[in-house]
Amino acid sequence: IVIDNSVLKISKIHLWKVVSFLSVFDLSEKMSNQIRLRLLPSTRCLFDEPVQLKVAGLRSRQVVTIKATSTDEREVVFGSSATYRADDGGEVDLNRDPSLNGSYVGVQPMGLLQSLKADTLHKYFFKNKALKPHVVKFSVHEQEADGRILAEETNERFLMGDGVSRDPIKEGNIRGVLFTPPEGPFPAVLDLGTFMSEKRACLLANKGFLVLTIAVFSDRQNMKEIHLDPFKEAVDFLRHHPKVGPVGVGIISRSKGTDIALSLAAFVPGVEALVWINGTSASVGTPLYYKKQQILSPLMFDFSKVITTKSGANLIKYATDDPLEEKNKGSLVPIERAKSQFLFVAAEDDLNWDSKDYMDEMVERLKRCGKENFETVFYPGAGHLLEPPYGPFCSSALHGMLSFSVVWGGEPRAHAAAEIHLWKKIQEFFRTHLRHTGCLHTH
């Protein structure tokens, strides 16, 4: 061995140890350099698009752990992991191969994204702003020893597609964000969230809809009463927008937003199609006013019926009063007055309230009135927070209206499948009922 032009004499045993160390080190470095983690078809995609994760260059039948990490808008770190065994050719394909253990088991191609969790309980992954992508870092790790990284790749999941514009709207009483696809005209959709979120609205705009998103509550202090008038302004804003076709406006809502959506369909002209997701048939928690008069009384909560679970989150499904009791019938939204088409969506394991029961009650009421302007979708195993697909599943989190943590329900795999199916169903429903000859954009 030559060091600084000097010859160093060592024994044969020491020489063998040095050579062995160098050869093993070189082999391991070569191996790790040859290992590749690929995201197909690209490392950049839209939030609601799947990617295929493939690992190549492993040893035959090698066991590795694949991890995902992402930080939400509140700087909370979420992570997931799953263990895989390579095939005889040293490859792992998440579209084909089952996870042996970890955050999930079995074949779940997007399981690493859908099972992202924070270290602390009851955390919802906040990704509500459209301008920044959802960034996920994937890495492949040695199963043995120190679990060193063999390969890594970053997935940028954009909420806004090419050509879609984002415009904050402050007009009259409207406070929201408008997403407009290129060209036009387009069918118009009002996205009603309990609190402000841009995610679903801009993802719908990518599909060829002009979408205005507004919140039922602008902040957590203004919850004593709700006036329908500002929401009517939003409907009228969309109806008269120069890039909107003549058919009318669609509305999409979930949870507390559903009773406002139903009320718009019942009391305001121009609502053509309405998607109701895991909601109620009555004005829950707050009285509703329109043109300075109360039109619906509040359906209240009985907090003695709240059940605290082992995790510390509360089960509130049975705490809402029955809207069919005589004393509560003034809270029911008179949807039989509505001329719009309805898509009612209920999840079997919604633990926020009994969405299936509310849906059945509305369907029965419409049938009694001779109405056929509705269709229903029921998802076994899904929970309350049905959202656009491929986001992290959330089983419990802080309730925005009640200010304590609640369980939302849902079995992760069934819930993820429901989100994929529902997202396509929503687009088909709006295209069918908001269609006109000018709206030919089906992105």
What are the tokens at 172?
């009259």
Rounded CA gap, 388 and 47, in Å?
8
255 is catalytic: yes
Query: In the Cβ-directed half-sphere of 152, how many Cα atoms lie within 13 Å?
Result: 12
In this structure, the chain runs to a length of 443
119 is catalytic: no
Could you say which of 350, 354, 395, 399 is catalytic?
350
Could you say which of 99, 103, 253, 255 is catalytic?
255
Neighbours of 29 (CB within 10 A): 10
The secondary structure of 69-127 as a DSSP string is EEE-TTS-EEEEEEEEE--TTS-EETTTPPB-EES--B--TTHHHHT-EESSSS-----
Cis (ω within 30 of 0) for the bond into 185?
A: yes
Q: How many angstroms separate the first and last alpha carbons of the chain?
A: 66
384 is catalytic: yes
243 near 184, Cβ under 8 Å? yes
Per the listing, tokens 């069934």 go with: 414
Q: Pairing state of beta strands 226-227 and 288-290? A: parallel
Q: Pairing state of beta strands 186-193 and 210-215? A: parallel
Rounded CA gap, 200 and 195, in Å?
13
Neighbours of 239 (CB within 10 A): 17
What are the tokens at 296?
């619906």
Rounded CA gap, 270 and 239, in Å?
7
Could you say which of 384, 399, 415, 433 is catalytic?
384
- Catalytic positions are 255, 350, 384
